[in-house]
Amino acid sequence: MTADHVLWPPRTAARYRAAGHWRGQTFGALLTSLAAAYADRTAVVGGDTRWTFAELDERAHRIAAGLLSSGLAPGDRAVLQLPNIPEFLPVVFGMWRAGVLPVFALPAHRRSELRHFAAQSEAAAVITVGEHERHDHAATARAVASDVESVRRVLLVGSDEFAGLAATAPRELPDPDPAGVAFLQLSGGSTGLSKLIPRTHDDYLYSVRESVRICGLRPDSVYLAALPVAHNFPLSSPGVLGALHAGAATVMAPRPDADTAFRLIEAERVTITGVVPPLAAAWVQAAARTGRDLSSLEVLLVGGAKCGRELAERIGPALGCRLQQVFGMAEGLVCYTRLDDPDEVVLGTQGRPISPDDEVRVVDPDTGADVAPGETGALLTRGPYTIRGYYRAAEHNATAFTADGFYRTGDLVRRTPAGHLEVVGRAKEQINRGGEKVAAEEVENHLMAHPGVLDAAVVAVPDAHLGERTCAYVVPVAGAAPTGPQLRAFVRERGVAAFKVPDLVQVVGEFPVTGVGKTSKRELRAALAALARKEP
């Protein structure tokens, strides 16, 4: 344990090593061995770019050297915000080789979120692109640099300056500690802002290696990165890292819509990809009228949010592939249905954990006692690739983890006799907007910064397309009358990802109070949610 990270107790770590889960390999060393084994095979494709494993390896070496000569040092953190472009891979592996820890932001994140990631990690740099999808990322990155004192550099992939950095002569660098933290992922958040998730080379590579096996990736597989690659699902379940690990090619999709994805599936003979349920539904619909040849597609992973039975049943017939459900979290635990599971399991559950050493408990949320087999309860987990604590968050860790190191996922699940998990709900104050996670409290805080808002409660409302959308209930201060459009614009202008701007705003005179007249925010939200369900 250090002040920043809570890692596994030494005896537990020794057990994971002895079991062969943790192998003492870093990401940089992995790429070196992949480049030796698959030198001339295609590693990544995107736009007009097509790099072999040898080219990717060479670029990552140069970027590592370039980052270190540009003033970054091993152990530094850098907020990384890149869209799905081939450069993502050499930049990330370059950072890993240099020992610079990426903080994986999503392209949708804006100033207030990036500022928080940079401040929380005391990042030395922000690495992003100039403009992308009509957003000036360079300007946002510079604003973050002016907000956060630790940020010394803004590096723009695609700029002349970056091309110069990426042309630095490669040099021999010391391999970082494989048991050390390699990068920081973001939590979906429930209490306020996203927490940073420290993942080590050892633990993450174990989950990647096993995902490759479970998802059947081979050197002749082709993985389509449809979702934003910095997210844990397309990054490692099995994702672009799984594809690389298998010696397979990755195709970077600039956008996940059916037209773009189907064009790439046909052109590159894509065999496997992963999507969130609303996207799966859109692809199923589009498949009926597409002229594209999707016959190469073997496996569609669906996860990030619950894939309902009806949708699950339509995927195989519509897309001519096998459905694989995945229930994972950036904090660690990943469950998959297996490719040879019976249909009943594939269509009706979210799978079972990757590892025999993933420990799963289903408990009564109030008492913490294990529920009877087959009953619904809160999911707790610990294991060889599940964190023991968020980065620099001692106070939050005290409640997010049990004393003996189980992570409280906030998910409500049921475990079948065979050990498959069915996700049935959520106990955390989070809205799952088609796989994009919105922390109620974060949005409430933005709303409450408005001078006309006295109180705010953000709840999920069921939505046919996204599964859930956000509804903000707002009580105005006396004499003020903020409107829905004004409040939505206000939240957007505070610099947050578009998916966090409330879909619906209801201005109400007061929040309903509970029977005893006590204002419990928790009960308030439940009452509002019930109200919202009744209203169309």
CA torsion through residues 94, 95, 96, 97, sign? positive
| Residue choice 138, 318, 323, 326 for contact with ligand OOB (CB under 6 A) | 326
The answer to whether residue 188 forms part of the interface with ligand OOB (CB under 6 A) is: yes
Does position 423 interact with ligand OOB (CB under 6 A)? The reply is yes
Residue 306 · residue 277 · CB < 8 Å: yes
Q: Across the strands, what pairs with 456?
A: 474
Q: Which is nearer to ligand OOB, 124 or 279 (CB)?
A: 279
- Does 434 contact ligand OOB by CB under 6 A? no
What does the alpha-carbon distance between residue 110 and residue 493 come to, in Å, rounded to a whole number?
A: 10
Residue 306 touches ligand OOB, criterion: CB under 6 A: yes
The one segment of 31-39, 134-142, 298-306, 380-388 that binds ligand OOB by CB under 6 A: 298-306
- 178 or 188: whose CB is closer to ligand OOB? 188
Site for ligand OOB in 189-208 (CB under 6 A): none
Q: Is 328 in the site for ligand OOB (CB under 6 A)?
A: yes
The answer to whether 358 touches 415, Cβ cutoff 8 Å, is no
Residue pair 459/447 in contact by the 8 Å Cβ criterion: no
Closest CA to 7 of 332, 248, 420: 332
Nearest partner of 239 among 443, 361, 16, 89, judged by Cα: 89
From CA 261, how far away is CA 267, in angstroms rounded? 10
E-only strand ranges, 165-246: 181-186, 196-200, 222-225
Q: Which of 98, 280, 330, 421 binds ligand OOB (CB under 6 A)?
A: 330
Cβ 461 to ligand OOB shortest distance, Å: 17
**CB nearer to ligand OOB: pick between 334 and 505:** 334
Q: Name the strand (E) or helix (H) holding 300.
A: strand 299-303
Q: Which residue is nearest to ligand OOB (CB)?
A: 328
Mark the segment that binds ligand OOB (CB under 6 A) among 42-50, 64-72, 303-311, 500-508: 303-311
Length of the chain: 536
Min separation Cβ 401 and ligand OOB, Å: 14
Question: Is 409 a binder of ligand OOB (CB under 6 A)?
Answer: yes
Q: Which residues contact 449 (CB under 8 A, 6 or more apart)?
A: 490, 494
Count of residues of this chain found to bind ligand OOB when the rule CB under 6 A is applied? 22
End-to-end CA distance of the chain: 50
User: For residue 130, with 0-12 CB atoms within 10 Å meaning exposed, 13-18 middle and 19 or more buried, which class applies?
Assistant: middle
Q: Which stretch binds ligand OOB (CB under 6 A): 51-59, 261-269, 288-296, 300-308?
A: 300-308
Selected binder of ligand OOB within 327, 401, 473, 511 (CB under 6 A)? 327
Judged by CB under 6 A, does residue 273 bind ligand OOB? no
Closer to ligand OOB by CB, 112 or 194: give it: 194
**What's the min distance (Å) between Cβ of 275 and ligand OOB?**
11
Q: Tell me if 391 sits within 8 A of 4, measured CB to CB.
A: yes
Q: According to the binding rule CB under 6 A, does residue 407 interact with ligand OOB? A: no
Tell me the C-alpha distance between 497 and 31, whole Å. Answer: 33
Residue 71 CB-half CA count within 13 A: 10
- What percent helix, strand, coil does the chain show, rounded to 5? 35, 25, 40
**Smallest gap, in angstroms, from Cβ of residue 348 to ligand OOB?**
12
75 vs 425 by CB, closer to ligand OOB: 425
Q: Judged by CB under 6 A, which stretch of 3-11, 163-171, 254-262, 301-309 contacts ligand OOB?
A: 301-309
Task: Pick from 81, 221, 350, 386 the residue near ligand OOB by CB under 6 A.
Answer: 350
CB of 84 to ligand OOB, least distance (A): 17
> Which part of the chain contacts ligand OOB (CB under 6 A), choosing from 152-160, 222-230, 321-329, 478-486?
321-329
Among 26, 32, 237, 381, the residue binding ligand OOB under the rule CB under 6 A is: 237
Among residues 178, 216, 278, 304, the one that binds ligand OOB under rule CB under 6 A = 304
Identity of the residue, 120 or 409, whose beta carbon is nearer to ligand OOB in the bound complex: 409
DSSP letters of 399-465? HHB-TTS-EEEEEEEEE-TTS-EEEEEE-SSEEEETTEEEEHHHHHHHHHTSTTEEEEEEEEEEETT
Per-residue contact track with ligand OOB, 36 to 75, x per CB under 6 A? ----------------------------------------
Residue 411 sits in the site that holds ligand OOB (CB under 6 A): yes
Beta carbon nearer to ligand OOB, 322 or 437: 437
Among 256, 237, 240, 260, which residue's Cα sits nearest to residue 248? 240
Q: How far is the CB of 386 from ligand OOB (least distance, A)?
A: 12
Pick the binder of ligand OOB from 303, 332, 476, 502 (CB under 6 A).
303
Select from 290, 247, 253, 284 the least CA-distant residue to 268: 253
HEC states along 153-178? EEEEECCHHHHHHCCCCCCCCCCCCC
**What are the residues binding ligand OOB (CB under 6 A)?**
188, 232-233, 237, 303-306, 325-330, 334, 350, 409, 411, 423, 426, 432, 437
